[in-house]
Amino acid sequence: MVEKVRLAFVGCGWMGQAVHLPNFLKTESCEVVALCEVREKLGRAVAKQHGIPRYYRSHRDLMSLEDIDAVAAIARDEYHAPIAIALLKSGKHVFIEKPIATNAEDASYGSRG
């Protein structure tokens, strides 16, 4: 049996709720263990609706959690790079929508050493 990836999901906008979250929830090798959304009422409602046990308001809250293997971040384009960079620095694997960055500085982050 394949060990499940313990996933935190960031972002409960339309695309997150309609497409990405349902797909991760259906994936047998994935267990969505936390949900993060800046709009607290929405985040708590979506977590409850899908039986996701933990809610956080910021992706930064996920960075030190050792029982989260990866994070799927579904946010507005301008937040892709800052969220991904912070989570990658904390050692998390990250799934992010395109575009990965909206400016040259963020896009070249990995090449700066």
pLDDT in tens, 36-67: 999 999 999 999 999 999 999 999 999 999 99
With contact defined as beta carbons under 8 Å apart, do 107 and 81 qualify?
Answer: yes
Copy the structure tokens of residue 68.
């989260």
- Kindly report the CATH number assigned to the domain that includes residue 74: 3.40.50.720
pLDDT value for 101: 76
What range defines the domain where residue 62 resides? 5-112
Single pTM value for the model: 0.87
The yes-or-no verdict on residue 69 having pLDDT over 70 is yes
**Among 1, 23, 12, residue whose Cα is nearest residue 76:** 12
For the chain, the domain total comes to 1
Condensed to tens digits (0 to 9), the pLDDT of residues 12-43 reads 999 899 999 999 999 999 999 999 999 999 99
